[in-house]
Amino acid sequence: MTSESVQPVSGPSRRTVVTAVGAAGLAVALTACGSDDEASGSSTEQGAAGAGATTEAGGSSADAGAGGAALAKTADIPEGSGKVFSDEKVVVSQPAAGDFKAFSTICTHQNCPMTDLKEDTLSCACHGSQFSVLDGSVKKGPATQALAAKQITVSGDSITLA
């Protein structure tokens, strides 16, 4: 009969487990703090210039067949201000009489949804960034990128999300 010494098989060390948990937590935190491609990149140019934000009746045929969700009547959007549509994550504004623009209500700092609109300023409750709903530009940081422009169609007195 042979006698083997029985030695316990050791698992990962405490240091290995703590390091792995810390690395996983860091990966989750960094992912949450990142921004999506729509909120970064070309949104500064589109938001500040309002490029493509509004399509008047008689616009391109590509816009005419978009068939988006009806948002509001033109009379519902105050001149020099706007109106937030939380479900669609969009704000529609009227910088000048008959000129309508639309922007995302997702803050470009850390992607928080925004609903606090006072006059022409949309504010983020997460970190205090403020944006102009008239052109999408940043009024107050920490955000550094303008709101992403959204496509809308104005047909008669109806505003539709493209």
When the pLDDT of each residue in the chain is averaged and rounded to a whole number, the result is: 74
Tokens of residue 45, six digits: 């140019």
On whether the CB atoms of residues 143 and 129 are closer than 8 A, the answer is: yes
- d(Cα 68, Cα 127) in Å, to the nearest integer? 32
| HEC secondary structure over 104-140 | ECECCCCCCECCEEECCEEECCCCCCEEECCCCCEEE
Q: Which tens digits make up the pLDDT trace of 25-55?
A: 555 544 544 444 433 333 333 333 333 333 3
| Residue 159: pLDDT over 70 | yes
The pLDDT of residue 162: 82
Considering the entire predicted model, what is its pTM?
Answer: 0.59
